[in-house]
Structure 1
Amino acid sequence: MSAAGKVRWRRRAAFHEVGHAVANVVLGHQCSTASVYDAPRISAIGLPCFGEVLTDPELIYPAIEIAVSCLAGPIAEARYTKRSLISCPLGRGSSDFENAQAALCESRFTYADAERQAHELVTESWQAIEATASALIVCGTVGQGTLALICSGGAL
């Protein structure tokens, strides 16, 4: 991949991962770091990825919030790239969609409810997503404090 291609993938990955991270912060979920990589790596769950958000797997949240958090990454990426949600996620993003569906399998909420709420969250948080993605592109990793500061309207 060319240097320009790597920069494009890194930017897309940053917006994707920050979508997840900001959703977690806005929803009050624990989120320790968001990272982007220059080349694909194997994620904590064993899938190839260009970045990831680390959370505490021991904490349990409402199904709709888990689904919203799962969908916020691809939705932020789609908004950044100006592409449709289905055509855009890095690495096909299928695990995000599958995780959202799995979270809702025994919920009274539908996938459409989660997608609508995720779109609203990304739209309302777009300024924080852009600011955090910019920091992530430069630093490679942003921590919980930076995420909380930016999401609260603070500046770096």
Structure 2
Amino acid sequence: MSIRKYLKFDPGEETGETLLQWWKGLEGNRGERATLRRCRNLTEVAFVPSFHRLYRDLSKCAVVDAERLALVAGLAAHVRSIDPGAEIAVQMGQGKPGSGSAVVSGLRFRRLLKIQDREELFLAMIRIIALLGGGLNLLSLVKGAYEWNEWTRKKWAFDYYSTAPSEV
């Protein structure tokens, strides 16, 4: 009997690599990606076949929460390019080119941290992905979204405010 692990989405780890392969597969299947991008809630994401492929692939190596994974799949479809450099909250706090303000304003970031509901988080993060230009640390995004809890919000706050001192 094997011990089932939980999804981590860490770089170099099996579940993280599975997600990255799935995301790369969306590039070759623009119709499925477009369908995911049009989803306005997590129920709609659950109706898309590519979500179920991801669910099946990840279920082979870890315990999967379907609602949390729908959030991950829906958000990942909005990511246009991967920038593995900094954590997602650091990327939110970085300055806009030619401006001293953060890419994601302090007010928007504080509102994000107050969100408890996954449906609300889905819509808020779609807007933030757009503000970041679609290029971000995908594994950091999905790890935070999948685990969305008090610990994640604290970590994101420390990361954001260490980068965006003008927002303090």
TM-score by length of 1: 0.30
TM-score by length of 2: 0.29
Bigger Rg, which one: 2
